[in-house]
Amino acid sequence: MTAREMFEQFKQRFGPLIVRADLPSDNRLFVFVDPSSVRYVTQHIFRELDARYVATIGADDRPFSGKFLVSHNFAFDKEHLLCGVLAYLPPDKPQIDSITDMVPAASWGEREMRDLVGIEPVGHRYLKRLVLPDGWPEGSHPLRKDTLWNEVPAEYNPEREFKFDEAPEGCMVVPFGPFHPTLDEPAHFRLFVEGEMVRGCEYRGFMVHRGIEKLAESVMNYNDIPMLAERICGICGCVHNVAYVQSVEEAAALKPPPRAEYIRTIMLELERLHSHLLWVGLACHIVGFDTLFMQSFRIREPIMWMAEKISGNRKTYALCVIGGVRWNITPELKVELRAVLDKLESEWRPVIAAVSRDKNIQKRTCGVGVADAGLVKNIGLIGPVARAAGVDIDCRRDHPYAAYDRVEFNVITEQGADVWSRLLVRAKEVFESIRIIRQCLDKMEDGPLQLEIKDELPIGRMGLSSVEAPRGESHHFVITGENNRPRRWRVRAPTYQNLQGIPAMIKDQQIADMTISLGSIDPCFSCTDRLETVDLRSGSVKVWSQEELLKLTRKKAGR
Amino acid sequence: MSLLSKLGETLVCLKAGRVTLPYPAEAKPLPEKFRGRPIFDATKCIGCAGCANNCPAREILVYDVCQEIRILKYLGRHCAYCGRCADVCPEKAITMSQEFENGTNQIGDIQQRLELFMSTCQRCGRCFKEPSVLEQLKMKGYRFDDLENERWIFRSQATLKGEPVVEDLKIELD
Amino acid sequence: MKAVIWMIVGGLANVGLVLLVAPLAQGVLRKVTARIQSRQGPPLLQPYFDLLKLLGKEDIESGESPGMQRFAAYLSLAAILAVACLVPMGFSAPMNGAGDVILLIYLLTLCGICTLLAGLAAGSTYSLVGISREMMSMIVLEPLFAIALVVGALHAQSFRLNEVLSGSVYAVAGTPYSGLIMLVVMVLSFQAFVQRVPFDISEAETELMEGPLVEYSGPKLALFKYAHMAKLIIYSALFVTLFVPWGSGLFLPLAWLLFWAKVFVLVLLVTVVAATHARYRIDQAIRFFAGLVGVSFVALILASYGH
């Protein structure tokens, strides 16, 4: 079904509610509605048409159209369509009906919108601060155009503390994070524990929020931003690089040359390889099996060397510019890459064979951290977490980009919906990635690496791009702007959605399984916390000190 | 049986042998495309400031002392080693070297300062052949970055004044 | 008089030997684990340097009751060294006359109690969860060892250390069923006694941030680490004297060397098992040990009927 056909369906269901529609291509649809009908339209799309929720975006469009803009993005995976439901809000008091009660996955998107742009989601039941640090004053919204990018508001109060929820009856509070040996990045899960079982948790995160979106809109230029985007994440940098560039290319209607698309595909799959191998090792380390951790890192090392030979760096490839790529894969590199892939495959097969027969690891991971298909739909979980629950979604096949429409591969699904299934999904995807790279090497055509861009990019166009990161779908939304920089750039990383499923996954499980459940979504907190401000160093970590937490737990436990 | 799978795993491990590299006792082997510290060649540089315009981290500052003398300073602080400066340089005066052991307690070891004698041009002054329209010079004319405080000023001027204009931004530098 | 001198000299020799060899055993364990993991591993003498480094650090008072923390640290090393005086390591046990097998059982339990004291003294949430796990596993684990010793005592018809700790579990006419059953039980649970993977649940680094030891640093941590290393040697020695006694009748230097060779082999086995297993969860471990306790009761019944 193309965008036009889907639009005809929309017109039949709620024709008079649509104010405007943009159909830039066969698989993109932007529908503008009145703010009061957003709830009705999104409910219909999410429930009756069974779309998948992707992101909620708030933007300050006042210098250009005089209004605020809200966009709820959905994906029709089977129809290969990405759709946005947009509404313009009046500038003096921007508010919109919350859709979280029907679409639980939108919970964080709306809280972020409120924190950063100041658009109030009316009817949201859990309006605590999500992104901004505790001391940030109310009424100061960093992503508004009248807030400077390098200024701390005068009323910033470093002493203010975050107000945590009360623990349920009979539960002890076990603080997990922000400093914990398992987590690579700071995040605070406040577990409510009864004996050995976890009864609930509260999450306070966004401690590595860096102001990337504001920087991009204020001082960077189109070709500078890929270097910034790839530093959003410590493992999946190439994904954000490619996704941003693709969304700008889509907005400006540029098509990169075929050789560039193949090279992008190869580098994306190389990144998937090293990320999945790292994850398998990390999961084994969390359950105490250090030997497999060391072995998977040993097997993974040649890929890092190969990436260094192609791009100059092991992880930050600095691959894309608007309209193409910067690095070429010469015939010698092709030969070496094939040899590396052969060796990797021959070493990984016996490891996976040994692990799948290993009862010891299965005992720790079967039945743990269960996220079934219902939770996947409601919270919008993506990536291996969803595929392990039997939900067959993969952006490489559903919304093809780069050269994925020209290669063949299988999408691996399992039925167990627990940590063991996720391990199997990731381990088997390694072989699919190797297959894709081999096909790309065979089919790669000669040609230029970059487009000749002669005219300046048009202003005010929207572009969407969904790229399958190793952790799930990474979704970028760009509105092009003046002065050679985008007007709004929103990054929705996969961990952003998957983290919202954690409280349901660890409920009624043992505390010992908490870390492996958290590890099984392959969390990348740097991807999740991307926004504002340059100067902040302190914040919630220092204020809520260990002594205070201890006093609180002892008081609660009646000691 | 579980014991057999464990033995199988052990054999896989032992077959691999020891893979630890003897770094730093021996130098780490590097590929030729390795992106280390950028080295600026003053003899080739024409002072176009294309690198300064296109550095994502804004780590290359330009200061025009007078009509003939331009100072280009590379501060090593937030350099991301991305190689964009080397990409856009029309004279190939910047090479991404293979040096990655850049830790030092004196930032002066990494900073590079080029003093260039410029011949004047009638119009904006400098010739810069940009790879694409997205890299064109954002600020033409005479530039006044703040070399002493090592910060990038968001302005340039078509005519030189006697005193440089330093706009005070509300930044807290550490 | 001669007996007293022998007690003192033998005791000092045993204690000194355990103190000297324990870090070396740990070094061997770390090196072999590293080779299995395809990496270089620390030098063999690294644990000595680690202990020296920790002893040289500043002694900080932290946690809820610092006095109890200090006491627990001293007690743990002292208890395990006292056990060293009771074990015949190649020659007759130095404190043979002063204690018997019951004292041995109690002293071993005391080592476990030290962890409990350590965790309580620290008072942090993680240490409390850690000691609850430690206590649960101790309840099902200590009986296994006690039953092994009692089976040996039943066969040897005495509680004296020298007689029990010399392969007495096999000392019956005909096939020693109880001895063989206890051998299998002890082999399966040995990793838990020495607190290594897959049964090092109370000190799981990645889950609990070191559990009971979370508030320890500097010299007090050095004492705990030393006790942990010594436990490996002591339990291996006990295992060897109880279940693998052959060769201890040879004349003195040879018997002593053979003893230490057997201990070394046991350390290697512990290493290989620790390197190739994932850590079990506490409920899975308890189920496992409860099953073993049932089996060992069967062995006890058989022993009391002379099999």
Nearest residue of C to residue B2, measured between CA atoms:
C277
Q: What is the pLDDT of residue B163?
A: 55
On whether both A332 and A452 belong to a single domain, the answer is yes
Residue ranges of the alpha helices (H) in B17-144? 50-54, 84-88
pLDDT digits (tens, 9 = 90+) for A459-477: 999 999 999 999 999 999 9
* Chain B CB within 8 Å of residue C272 CB: yes
Name which of A380-384, A508-512, C84-88 the model is least confident about: A508-512
For residue C40, is pLDDT > 80?
yes
3-state SS assignment for residue A486: strand
Which pair of tokens denotes residue A199?
């009864």
- Whether the pLDDT of residue A547 is over 50: the answer is no
Helix (H, G, I), strand (E, B) or coil at A46: helix
C38 and B CB contact within 8 Å: yes
| Chains A, C: CB pairs < 8 Å | 78
**B80 touching A, CB under 8 A?**
yes
A353 and A479 together in one domain:
yes
Residue A491: its H or E element: strand A486-492
Sort out which chain C residues have CB atoms less than 8 A from B17's CB and list them.
38
Residues A98, A233 within the same domain: no
Of C38, C126, C200, the CB nearest to A298: C38
Chain B CB within 8 Å of residue C276 CB: yes
**CA dist A469 → A313, A327, A413, B30, B140 (Å):** 19, 21, 16, 28, 40
Sorted by where each starts, the structural domains of chain B and their CATH numbers stand as 30-145 (3.30.70.3270)
Secondary structure of chain C: what % helix, strand, coil (to 5)?
75, 0, 25
Chain C: residue whose CA lies nearest to B9: C276
Is A362 within 8 Å of chain C by CB? no
Instruction: Check residues C138 and A311 and name the one with the higher pLDDT.
Output: A311
Q: Are residues A365 and A452 located together in one domain of the fold? A: yes
Question: Do A268 and A129 fall within a single domain?
Answer: no
Q: At residue C79, does pLDDT exceed 80? A: yes
| Percentage, residues of chain A above pLDDT 70 | 93
Residue A532 has pLDDT above 50, yes or no: no
Q: How far apart are CA B150 and CA B172, in angstroms?
A: 13
Nearest-Cα distance to chain C for A430, in Å, is 22
Chain B residues with CB under 8 Å of C268 CB are: none
The bridge status of strand A486-492 relative to strand A509-510 is unpaired
User: Does the CB of B172 have a partner CB in chain A at under 8 Å?
Assistant: yes
Q: How many CA atoms lie within 13 A of A155 on its CB side?
A: 6
Q: Are residues A139 and A226 in the same domain?
A: no
Residue A341 has pLDDT above 90, yes or no: yes
Cβ contact (<8 Å) for A291 and C36? yes
Residue among B13, B31, B138 minimizing CB distance to A309: B31
Cross-strand bridge partners of residue B61: B73
Q: Compute and round to an integer the Cα radius of gyration of chain B.
A: 23
State how far Cα A504 lies from the chain centre: 19
Lowest mean pLDDT among A244-248, A518-522, B40-44, B123-127: B123-127
Q: What's the whole-number mean pLDDT along residues C36-42?
A: 88
Give yes or no: residues A59 and A135 share one domain: yes
For B10-60, how does the pLDDT look when each residue is reduced to its tens digit (9 = 90+)?
777 778 788 888 888 888 889 999 999 999 999 998 888 889 889 999 899
Q: Is residue A170 part of a domain?
A: no
Domain boundary at A98, A117, A144, which? A144
Confidence of residue A350 (pLDDT cuts 50, 70, 90): confident
Task: Enumerate the residues of chain A whose CB falls inside 8 A of the CB of residue C279.
Answer: 287-289, 364
The secondary structure element, H or E, covering residue B112 is strand B112-117
Q: What is the pLDDT of residues A359-384, one digit of tens each?
A: 878 888 888 889 889 999 999 999 99
Q: How far is B102 from chain A (nearest CA, A)?
A: 15
Model pLDDT, residue A542: 28
Confidence category of residue C293, pLDDT binned at 50, 70, 90: very high
- B174: pLDDT confidence band, cut at 50, 70 and 90? very low
Same domain, A318 and A427: yes
* pLDDT for position A182: 65
pLDDT digits 0-9 by tens, B68-89 = 788 999 998 889 999 999 999 9
Asked if B17 lies within 8 A of C38 by C-beta distance, the reply is yes
CATH number of the domain where residue A340 is located: 1.10.645.10
Write out chain B residues lying below 8 Å of C36, CB-based: 10, 13-14
Decide: C138 and C225 in contact? Cβ < 8 Å: no
pLDDT at A400: 93
Position A543 scores a pLDDT of 30
Torsion, Cα A304 A406 A222 B70, to 10 degrees, reads 60
> Between β-strands A197-204 and A509-510, what pairing exists: parallel, antiparallel or unpaired?
antiparallel
Average pLDDT over residues C127-146: 83
Letter string b/e over residues A194-226, b meaning 16 or more CB atoms within 10 A of that residue's CB = bebebbbbbbbbbbebbbbbbbbbeebbbbbbb
Position A163 pLDDT exceeds 90: no
B121-170 residue pLDDT tens:
555 556 677 778 888 877 777 788 888 888 887 667 766 665 544 555 44
Q: Find the closest chain C residue to A179 by CA distance.
A: C209
Q: Which domain holds residue A388?
A: 212-529
Pick the most confident of A260-269, A518-527, C215-224: A260-269
Tell whether the model's pLDDT for residue A245 goes beyond 90.
yes
Per-residue pLDDT, A545 = 39
| Pair (A139, A218) in one structural domain | no
Residue to substitute from B18, B19, B21, B23, interface C, most C β-carbons within 10 A: B18
Compute the radius of gyration of chain C from its Cα atoms. 19
Q: Select from A404, A401, A406 the least CA-distant residue to A464.
A: A401
C contact residues 217-236, partner B, Cβ 8 Å cutoff: none
Rounding to the nearest 10 degrees, give the CA dihedral for residues C78, C79, C81, C84.
Answer: 160
Distance CA C38, CA B34 (A): 27
pLDDT at C47: 95
Work out how many domains chain C is built from and give that number.
1
Rounded to an integer, the average pLDDT of C12-36 is 91
Amino acid at A17: L
Q: Give the residue from A478, A479, A495 showing the smallest Cα distance to A529.
A: A495
The answer, for A553 touching chain C at a CB cutoff of 8 Å, is: yes
Please give the pLDDT value at position A271. 95
- Across the interface, whether the CB atoms of A510 and C38 are under 8 A apart is answered no
Q: What does the alpha-carbon distance between residue A286 and residue C69 come to, in Å, rounded to a whole number?
A: 29
Task: State whether A132 and A218 are in the same domain.
Answer: no
- Mean pLDDT of chain A, nearest integer: 86
| For testing contact with chain A, the best of B5, B87, B151, B173 (most A CBs within 10 A) | B5
Number of domains forming the structure of chain A: 2
C278 in contact with B, Cβ within 8 Å: no
Question: Which of A68-77, A157-166, C209-218 is predicted most confidently?
Answer: A68-77
Give the structural domain span for C70: 2-304
On whether both A131 and A228 belong to a single domain, the answer is no
Report which DSSP code applies to A98: -
Q: State the average pLDDT over residues C206-232.
A: 81
Instruction: Report whether pLDDT(A130) > 60.
Output: yes
- Are residues A105 and A218 part of one domain? no
Q: Using the predicted structure, report yes or no on whether residue C91 has a pLDDT greater than 80.
A: no
Lowest mean pLDDT among A342-346, A441-445, B119-123, C65-69: B119-123
Question: Average pLDDT over chain C, rounded to whole?
Answer: 85
Residue A512 DSSP symbol: G
Neighbours of chain B (3+ CB pairs under 8 A): A, C
Q: In chain C, pLDDT over 90 holds for what percent of residues?
A: 22
Which residues of C fall within a CB distance of 8 Å from A286? Answer: 206-207
Say whether B35 and A312 touch across the interface (CB within 8 A).
yes
- Say what the pLDDT of residue C233 is: 92
Q: Which chains touch C (3 or more CB pairs under 8 A)?
A: A, B
Beta-carbon-side half-sphere exposure of residue B90 (alpha carbons within 13 Å): 15
**Chain A CB contacts of C129 below 8 Å:** 174, 196, 511
pLDDT at residue A99 above 60? yes
Mean pLDDT across C98-121:
85
Tell me how far apart the alpha carbons of residues A387 and A423 are, in angstroms, rounded to a whole number: 11
Contacts of A525 (CB under 8 A, 6+ apart): A183, A184, A185, A186, A187, A205, A207, A208, A495
pLDDT at B9: 73
Lowest mean pLDDT across A36-40, A243-247, A522-526, C159-163? A522-526
Q: Which of C65, C200, C281, C287 to mutate to test the interface with A (most CBs of A within 10 A)?
A: C281
Confidence of residue A181 (pLDDT cuts 50, 70, 90): low
**Predicted local distance difference test score (pLDDT) of residue A396:** 94
Give the closest of C38, C197, C280 to A363, CB-based. Answer: C280
